[in-house]
Amino acid sequence: MHTKLYSDAKIVESWGINALPWTTAVREGQIESRKQITDQAIIETILNRLPRSVLDIGCGEGWLVRELATRNIDVTGTDVVQKLIKEARRAGGGDFRLLSYEEVAAGKLKVSVDAVACNFALLGKESVEGIFEAVPSLLNPHGTFVVQTLHPVMTCGDLPYRDGWREGSWAGFSSEFSHPAPWFFRTLESWIKLFVDNGFKLCEVREPIHPKTLKPASIIFIGETAD
Ligand SMILES: C[S@@+](CC[C@H](N)C(=O)[O-])C[C@H]1O[C@@H](n2cnc3c(N)ncnc32)[C@H](O)[C@@H]1O
């Protein structure tokens, strides 16, 4: 049976298919915006909060976990794709768990950390709403939730500026990639509402600027729990 064209399940299916080319692209620094701007931007944002423990949800092949682990931080990574978790474990650096967002939302992950990070990993609809509901219970008092994602204004294109599913694309990636994942576009207002409705205080928003285009390469939201 085929999964719906636009759904959270379709996103997972696509990452399963593209796990190996993705691992190569990340590890060989093939994604220019990551190498130049967004990798450093999320590392700096997290380090700024001085966490002793971090949970990286949707960790992929685990690069961020490894980076943070070299800074003496206790890091756990979760992802739903078996091949990505296998690659992450092989490279080491942290504790990697095979868990979907739905499982995390259902309380299957028992951790209490200073910060939760999601780096370009919140791409769906219901699965993302479930993560936002679950994160407060995974954080220590005054914990931080850091989300780096596509900048809504930069990625809206010619379509109306309103929430909705969008077709995926691997433009700019190697021919090894196929079956692009759909993604759920959220306006800036909707992202902020996700934080506020789930009890976070949004303490900062960062817009890392691409040095050549002088446009935002991403957006980073930094939320904090009250207690
Ligand atoms: C663009 S990749 C980012 C990976 C990693 N955070 C990084 O910075 O390289 C998106 C990740 O989200 C994961 N993902 C998407 N939907 C998921 C779900 N429902 N449950 C768990 N992981 C999911 C994918 O498997 C993939 O590893």
For residues 197 and 76, what is the distance between their CA atoms, to the nearest angstrom? 26
From ligand 1's centre to the CA of 32, what distance in Å?
19
Identify the pLDDT of residue 107: 97
36 backbone dihedrals φ, ψ, rounded to 5°: -80, -35
**Mean of the per-residue pLDDT values of the chain:** 97
For residues 67 and 44, what is the distance between their CA atoms, to the nearest angstrom? 11
Question: Residues 136-157: what's their mean pLDDT?
Answer: 98
**pTM over 0.75, yes/no:** yes
For residues 217 and 226, what is the distance between their CA atoms, to the nearest angstrom? 30
Report the CATH number of the 8-225 domain: 3.40.50.150
- Encode pLDDT of 94-103 as tens digits: 999 999 999 9
Q: Note whether 59 and 96 are within 8 A (CB).
A: yes
57 backbone dihedrals φ, ψ, rounded to 5°: -90, 130
Question: Residues 145-174: what's their mean pLDDT?
Answer: 97
Question: Which ligand 1 atom is nearest residue 181's CA?
Answer: 15
Identify the pLDDT of residue 2: 63
Question: Which ligand 1 atom is nearest residue 34's CA?
Answer: 8
Helices 8-17 and 126-138: crossing angle, nearest 10°?
90
Query: Which is higher by pLDDT, 5 or 176?
Result: 176
Residue among 3, 7, 10, 15 to mutate when testing ligand 1 (max atoms within 8 A of CB): 15
Amino acid at 186: R
From ligand 1's centre to the CA of 221, what distance in Å?
18
Beta strands in the chain (DSSP E): 53-57, 74-79, 95-98, 113-119, 139-149, 164-166, 183-185, 200-206, 219-225
Question: Residues 137-156: what's their mean pLDDT?
Answer: 98
Question: Residues 213-222: what's their mean pLDDT?
Answer: 98
Residue among 81, 149, 150, 155 to mutate when testing ligand 1 (max atoms within 8 A of CB): 81
pLDDT tier at 1 (50, 70, 90 boundaries)? low
From ligand 1's centre to the CA of 60, what distance in Å?
5
- Encode pLDDT of 59-104 as tens digits: 999 999 999 999 999 999 999 999 999 999 999 999 999 999 999 9
Amino acid at 133: E
